[in-house]
Amino acid sequence: METVVSGIRSTGNLHLGNYFGAMKNFLRMQEENQCYFFIADYHSLTTHPKPQDLRQNVRQVLAEYLACGLDPEKCTLYVQSDVPEVAELYLLLNMHAYKGELERATTFKEKARKQPDNINAGLLTYPVLMAADILLHRASKVPVGKDQEQHLEMTRQFGNRFNRMYEVDYFPEPQAFNFGVQLVKVPGLDGSGKMGKSEGEGNAVFLFDTDEALKKKVMRAVSDAGPSEPNSQKPEAIQNLFTLMDLVSTKETLQFFDDAFNNCTIRYGDMKKQLAEDMIVFVSPIRSRITEILKDESLLTDVMKRGKEKAQASARKTVSEVREIMGIRY
Ligand code: TRP
């Protein structure tokens, strides 16, 4: 069985795009692999979150992933800082990570541009911490998106460098992992591209949005004046509405609006109203589960405790072997 590691940003509240994308992947992986999923709270410290916000975010994200079906019986679900062994591995790996290569990371350059007053060492060594997360469990698979591929490449680089330096074959080379199946690409509401948090307020529908917020976002989704010729090709923004409808509405509803489009009688106001209603029906049971889990202090505490224990067992083993290999044994 292969070992999978993935980090979840602690501000990464789930939207429908994640739900049909990464989440579906996670649910399959937990059935078939040895999975370590963790909330990357150490990573989030580069931007200095307020302590009370950090706590709130970690609990919220944990509740959301549980509500979607991540099962602590099937995977190891933990909070990164509950396993401080990762910090030791990070320190050790830092000795073999070079300033030049760290400065060349696209994410570093971008963040440095965005927050010129806070270019801290944690930001520069972010990829080393990420490598430590992965190497800590000697994972061979990492489910990440395109934006993280460079970090994964750096992880391979650090692992291989360690192996070469100490003449061992200790760390496997982790590969990006997406099941080879085409994930459903969920479009956003802004008329182009995929649903994402960074694409601007209003583009993504979050599982935890209130009915009102959700409805408002959908009603403001980009559309146009409607087709003037029967059976025309759908412009991107309109196709996006149909793609979203296909995910949450019944076949009949979808067919109804498709016919209306084809005979030029479609009213996008009505379509969006229907889409919003169906999205609410779709997300509200998940939202109720999130709320219930958030109220259940002892459930969250238990999940974190179990995750910590399981992750720590694997982490301690790796760190003690790494110490041994490096000669930290006096
Ligand atoms: N950097 C990842 C992101 O921004 C999160 C992350 C941290 C991660 N550590 C990881 C992902 C380890 C995969 C493996 O999304």
Q: What is the pLDDT of residues 171-222, one digit of tens each?
A: 999 999 876 555 678 999 998 888 988 777 789 999 999 999 999 999 999 9
pLDDT in tens, 107-150: 999 999 999 999 999 999 999 999 999 999 999 999 988 889 99
Residue closest by Cα to atom 7 of ligand 1: 7
Q: What is the pLDDT of residue 122?
A: 98
Nearest to 303 by CA among 28, 34, 38: 38
Q: Say how far apart CA 183 and CA 22 lie, in whole Å.
A: 8
282: Cβ contacts below 8 Å, ≥ 6 apart: 247, 248
Residue type, 188: G
Q: What is the pLDDT of residue 111?
A: 95
Q: What is the pLDDT of residue 179?
A: 64
Contact 189, 199 (CB under 8 A): no
Q: What is the pLDDT of residue 303?
A: 98
Q: Say how far apart CA 317 and CA 136 lie, in whole Å.
A: 9
- Lining ligand 1 with CB less than 6 A are 5-7, 9, 40, 43, 130, 133-134, 142, 144, 148
Q: CATH fold of 3-185+297-326, please?
A: Rossmann fold (3.40.50)
Q: Which residue has the tokens 């990164």?
A: 80
Q: What is the pLDDT of residue 194?
A: 87
Q: Closest ligand 1 atom to the C-alpha of 151?
A: 1
Report which secondary-structure segment, H or E, holds 39.
Answer: strand 34-40
Q: Could you tell me the strand order of the sheet in which 76-79 lies?
A: 76-79, 34-40, 3-9, 141-142, 175-176
If you measure from the C-alpha of residue 125 to the centroid of ligand 1, how many angstroms do you get, rounded to a whole number?
13
Q: Say how far apart CA 94 and CA 41 lie, in whole Å.
A: 19
Q: Say how far apart CA 72 and CA 87 lie, in whole Å.
A: 24
User: Binning pLDDT at 50, 70 and 90, where does residue 225 land?
Assistant: very high
Specify which residues 36 forms β-bridges with.
5, 76
Q: Closest ligand 1 atom to the C-alpha of 145?
A: 15
Q: What is the pLDDT of residue 192?
A: 81
Residue type, 264: C
Q: Which pair of tokens denotes residue 161?
A: 């460098």
The mean pLDDT value for 156-184 works out to 89
User: Above pLDDT 70, what percent of the chain?
Assistant: 98
Q: Closest ligand 1 atom to the C-alpha of 5?
A: 14
Q: Say how far apart CA 316 and CA 154 lie, in whole Å.
A: 23
Average pLDDT, the chain: 95
If you measure from the C-alpha of residue 251 to the centroid of ligand 1, how many angstroms do you get, rounded to a whole number?
37
Residue closest by Cα to atom 5 of ligand 1: 7
Report which secondary-structure segment, H or E, holds 287.
Answer: helix 268-295
Q: What is the pLDDT of residue 181?
A: 55
Contact 189, 218 (CB under 8 A): yes
- CATH (residue range 197-291): 1.10.240.10
Residue closest by Cα to atom 6 of ligand 1: 7
Q: Would you kindly state where each structural domain of the chain is located, as residue ranges?
A: 3-185+297-326, 197-291
Residue closest by Cα to atom 10 of ligand 1: 7
pTM exceeds 0.85 for this model: yes
The mean pLDDT value for 39-46 works out to 98
Contact 8, 61 (CB under 8 A): yes
pLDDT in tens, 288-325: 999 999 999 999 999 999 999 999 999 999 999 999 99
Residues catalogued as catalytic: 111, 194, 197
Q: Say how far apart CA 11 and CA 15 lie, in whole Å.
A: 12
